[in-house]
Structure formats: structure tokens, C-alpha cells
């Protein structure tokens, strides 16, 4: 197990990372989770301002670290966490824009799969098209946890876009193929986890409507709405502690 990679340097080698890491995109959101939900949270990484914290939630060691924005960024951090720091489960927790009228503002959307316009998977040299998917054990655990919390979920496909300001304005077309929301990280996270034989899941709160009436949450509403998603992710992390340990593929 490493203590230093090009993008992560453990500031507390004895504590390290938990088996499960929650990954919001924003370093400030990672700090918010650590300060408001974790006990005895310690800063364990600060390279490039991508802060990571490890603490305890209901007695279980859990980490939270920012992923930055986009597939290349989460691809770097998830690979290093899985490959070098003993992490087995990564749960992306972030915002997304609805591209289906089946979901509304503040809804929680869970990515069973992730369509994408990214070329990230070309690195694997596959003679075909990969279907980036989450880990079923994580999905099932989260779904059962949500039921116990009486928290409704929308489970389906996400669309992971490489472009936020998309000149084609075609994101809504993916809604016609059943995608519920557009975000920018899930497909890269899923591909990385699949390649390394680890677990991954993307959970997003709808912060914007990408179709008419083009509504969005303000900053205060985002904080209140995202708190539900954070609690769901942490409760799921506790249950994941009991799942069988995975070993990376060679």
C-alpha cells in the first residue's frame, strides 16, 4: 500500500483511507461532509487543493475526498485510490441536470449505467463499445438503505458529458434513450472500477432542469437538498463495511 502517488500524499499514514470513499466534485463539499457528519475527521490529503478527509460514521471508518470536475479528473483520483490506497468502494455524490421529465428538482438519481460522449474507454483497446455500469452490490445496498430511510430514488442511466458548455446542445437527446440526468464523472468512475475489479456507484441530486422551464436550485437550496444524499451515502457506507472484501485484478 502506497503513501504517496503523483496526486495523493497521505498526511496521516496510520489512519489512511477508509474502505469506502465518498467523492463529491467540490473540495468545499468534502470539507462540509467531514465537519458535519464525521467524527474525529482528519485531513489526509491536500495535494492540488483536492482535500480528502478520513473519520468515523457510526463507528465505521469512512473517507470523503473531492474528485474535481470531469472524467479525466475522477479517473485519476479513483484509479490511485483503488490501486494504491486500499479503497474498495467509491461513491460519487454530486449534482446533475435533469434531461428526462421523469425526474424533478431535488430528486435523487442513481446511475445504474452511464452513457457518455467521452473517449475515456478507448485506452482499453476493446473491439467494440463498453457499457459502463455500477456495481450491483453497492446499488442494492443503497436501494435498501433508501427504503429504510423512506427516501425515494430514481434509478436508471446517467449521461456523462465531457462538455459543460456544449455547443451542440444535444444533452436532452440522451433523455430520449432513457437517460435521466446529465453529469460529468460517472462513466469514467465506472470504467476505472470495472477495470480494477472494484465497486463504484454514482448518486446525484437534481440541481437543474436542462429542458423547459429550465429551472435550478439556488445555493441555499442545494445545500439543504444535498444533505439527504450525503446521509444516504454515509448510511450505505456503514452497510458496505459488511460486504465481502474484493481483490484488484492483476
Q: Which positions are annotated as active-site residues?
A: 208
Place of cell 483497446: 125
Alpha carbon distance 219, 7 (integer Å): 29
H-state helical runs in the chain = 27-37, 71-84, 136-148, 186-196, 219-240
H-state helical runs in 69-135 = 71-84
Q: Which residues are 91's β-sheet partners?
A: 22, 201
Question: Torsion over CA of 34, 40, 44 and 49, rounded to 10 degrees?
Answer: 30
- Are the C-beta atoms of 120 and 188 separated by less than 8 Å? yes
As to burial, measured by CB atoms within 10 angstroms (0-12 exposed, 13-18 middle, 19+ buried), residue 179 is buried
- According to DSSP, residue 238 is labeled H
Alpha carbon distance 105, 54 (integer Å): 31
Amino acid at each position: 500500500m502506497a503513501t504517496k502517488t503523483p496526486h495523493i500524499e497521505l498526511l496521516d499514514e496510520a489512519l489512511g483511507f477508509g474502505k469506502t470513499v465518498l467523492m463529491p466534485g467540490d473540495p468545499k463539499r468534502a470539507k462540509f461532509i467531514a465537519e458535519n457528519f464525521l467524527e474525529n475527521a482528519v485531513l489526509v490529503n491536500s495535494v492540488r487543493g483536492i482535500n480528502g478527509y478520513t473519520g468515523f460514521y457510526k463507528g465505521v471508518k469512512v473517507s470523503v475526498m473531492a474528485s474535481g470536475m470531469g472524467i479525466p479528473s475522477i479517473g485519476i483520483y479513483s484509479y490511485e485510490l483503488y490501486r494504491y490506497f486500499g479503497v474498495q468502494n467509491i461513491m460519487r455524490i454530486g449534482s446533475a441536470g435533469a434531461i428526462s421529465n421523469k425526474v424533478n428538482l431535488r430528486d435523487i438519481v442513481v446511475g445504474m449505467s452511464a452513457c457518455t460522449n467521452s473517449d475515456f474507454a478507448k485506452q482499453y483497446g476493446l473491439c467494440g463499445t463498453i457499457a459502463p455500469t455500477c456495481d450491483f452490490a453497492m446499488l442494492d445496498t443503497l436501494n435498501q438503505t433508501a427504503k429504510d430511510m423512506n427516501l425515494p430514488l430514481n434509478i436508471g442511466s446517467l449521461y456523462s458529458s465531457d462538455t459543460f458548455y456544449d455547443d451542440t446542445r444535444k444533452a436532452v437527446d440522451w433523455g430520449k434513450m432513457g437517460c435521466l440526468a446529465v453529469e460529468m464523472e460517472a462513466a469514467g468512475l465506472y470504467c476505472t472500477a470495472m477495470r480494477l475489479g472494484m465497486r463504484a456507484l454514482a448518486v446525484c441530486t437534481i440541481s437543474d432542469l436542462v429542458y423547459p422551464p429550465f429551472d435550478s436550485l439556488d445555493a441555499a437550496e442545494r445545500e439543504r437538498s444535498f444533505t439527504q444524499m450525503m446521509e444516504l451515502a454515509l448510511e450505505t457506507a456503514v452497510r458496505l463495511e459488511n460486504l465481502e472484501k474484493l481483490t484488484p485484478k492483476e
